[in-house]
Chains A and B, each alone.
Chain A
Amino acid sequence: MLAVVVVLFYGGFRVWMILFPGDEAEIRTMLDDLSAAASFRPSDKPLTHMAKAGELAGFFTEDVEIRAEGPRGEMRRIQGKASLQQIAVSAQSMGSGLTLGFKDVLVAVKEGQGQASCRLTMIANGLGEPTPWVQILAIDVVETDRGWKVADVEAVEAVERVD
């Protein structure tokens, strides 16, 4: 009897969370969807590239700014959703696939301000690199009338380099 009550309670909780997700749950779902949209297979057709790049750009604000290291340690800066979409199309047409994942996602929602800060570990496999590309990202997201969007991305060094 107790087990049935526990199962029912857990099931009810899950249904409640699906029907009425909080801000943090919505942001986590958005980040999951973003990583799926950023991933692509080498066998994808050019039309698929365009569609996926458009889908990916939809997760960002118009004036998004991204500052991150490339897989070979070079610093890259992307400004604006349109630039991001172009880079996504050209990256996909290079031939090698990419699998992107976000792990250990920490979300801090600024209550009542429609803003949140996220910190996560990005792991990317592919792009012709033999080893995974791992980077800590600090991401600012804002709430818009079309849901949560990424407004700013900055790479954070995992260790403090001594130069």
Chain B
Amino acid sequence: MGVDVRSDKSKAVDQLRASGARRDPLDVAAEFERLGRHLLAAAVYEDAGMPEDALRNWREAGEHEKALPHATGQLQADLQWMIRVEKLMQRRPNGIQDRLETAERKRLAKAMRVPKPNKRLFG
């Protein structure tokens, strides 16, 4: 995502230290996660050798590629697929949008459509 996580992380840690409280990095990561700073949180967790937490935060940050090394099973398959979709879209022929017929555009749009998540009845 083009974010210098490490430099951000240092700054954040520095800020947290400067606040006068010497903290545990895990607390910092938890604080980052609570603040919605998932990239920082994921980096800290990763440094701390906590891959599950790192994976969760990489995903919350939408970082498929970074999340992938920590994923297994179904999640790994999801991430791999999303990466392939992204790559394919990036390799889209230049100017294709101007050449598509209406029916092609419709079919493509229909094919690309991912269903919305099921509504949870509880929680």
Partners in one complex: no
Name B residues whose Cβ lies closer than 8 Å to a Cβ of A: none
